[in-house]
Structure 1
Amino acid sequence: MEKNDKDLKIRCVYNGSAKMKGSLCLNEALYRGPVLLPDLVDILICTGLCEILISSDIEKAFFMVV
């Protein structure tokens, strides 16, 4: 890899299924949260009944908090 620009961005990528002997892989150690699919179906049904719907993207706000 050649560095030809001072704004070169590098993104680290992890193999979540890689295992070492006697230990868990990253995918097995992650917390499995609650099943949100029933809530999603309810939200979709309710949005179909509303006259006005407001949507927003909080990606930038999330990175400011973290």
Structure 2
Amino acid sequence: MPYVKIETTREGVTREQKQALIKGVTELLESVLNKDPHLIHVVIQEVELDDWGYAGEQTSALRARGITAEKH
């Protein structure tokens, strides 16, 4: 039973985007690992910006200064 957990910051990921992620991950595991899609579980967890950090700072503080991972 493959279990995939996707964590992202809570910044407006739409229902449609989440569905696309679930479908895409499921299809990838079917294709690459020959897994039964009925046994594949995908969980998307959204994390508050205060609860996610990198480079020693909370993401909320970095975003407030206009800094993103791509710009860092």
Name the TM-score, length of structure 2 as normaliser: 0.24
Q: Which has the higher strand share?
A: 2
- Give the number of the structure with larger relative contact order, counting CA–CA contacts within 8 Å between residues 6 or more apart: 2
Query: Bigger radius of gyration, 1 or 2?
Result: 1
Q: Which has the higher helix share?
A: 2
